[in-house]
Amino acid sequence: MKAGDTRRRVALVTGGRRGIGRAIGYALADEGYDVVVNDLERDAAADETLAGLVARGAQARFVAGDVSKLDGHAALVDAAWGAFGTIDCLVNNAGVQTNYRGDMLDIPPESFDRLLGVNLRGSFFLTQQVARRMIGEPAGDVTRPRRAIVFVSSGNAVVATATQADYCISKSGVAMMSTLYALRLAPHGIAVNEVRPGIIRTDMTADVFDKYDGWVRDRGFPMARWGEPDDIGQAVAVIASGRLPYTTGHAFHVDGGIHIRRT
């Protein structure tokens, strides 16, 4: 925002209808953002998210779209941009987990392609579309960015899990993608950072709850509790707030310390 501009900023959150995406939207609403929620379809969960955003004082809109479908990106961005006249923050949260947990020597190509299509390829080209539009608008003081792009990746960007190799590969790609966009967009006053969730209690982790719950209870990492979607939401809100004006290209671990190397 320019000095004296009191308008609410606008965020587009992909995969925003539930789980971590919903928590990100809520945290951004509390931070003073109006929010455009993107997901595959508008259902009861999406309506609950929209109502929650409004209850937090935000204006909220839903834009349907599949980030893996590149031919739909232009329409998705047009609709999101048109909802409130701009986008100040893009949160690339949409992502999928592997359909195949097993020996990486047996991963089927369709599982690999699906993960890269959503987690990596889709996010790259959607960000390309949004970044072009952002660059076309006045940036203000580019040394103190007020516009942000956030990639939600995973601790698996750097922690190898051989039974979900395709997922790890997709998220390591997201990490480099975030770094590259940070380099490219800094001159335009757009800060780009990455958030790496650890073990977060969501629908996506429900099938491995029993596997990890014992590790959590046995203090397998420093802050021995399950992460919650709000932990990720709060991290994204801080990054998007503008209170970190000299930070770009950083990876924020929100994982209770799992990433810490110990002996």
Catalytic residues: 154, 167, 171
In angstroms, how far is the first alpha carbon of the chain from the final one?
Answer: 47
Rounded distance, CA 157 to CA 168, Å?
A: 6
CA–CA dist 207, 30 (Å, integer): 31
Question: Which residues is 150 bridged to in the sheet?
Answer: 91, 193
Say what the alpha-carbon torsion angle 220, 226, 230, 236 is, to the nearest 10 degrees: 30
Length of the chain in terms of residues written: 263
CB 239 within 8 A of CB 252: yes
Q: What is the dihedral of CA 117, 121, 123, 126, to 10 degrees?
A: -110
Q: What's the one-letter identity of residue 160?
A: A
Compute CA distances 32 → 17, 97, 144, 151, whole Å.
19, 31, 18, 20
Q: What pairing do the DSSP bridges indicate for beta strands 251-254 and 190-197?
A: parallel
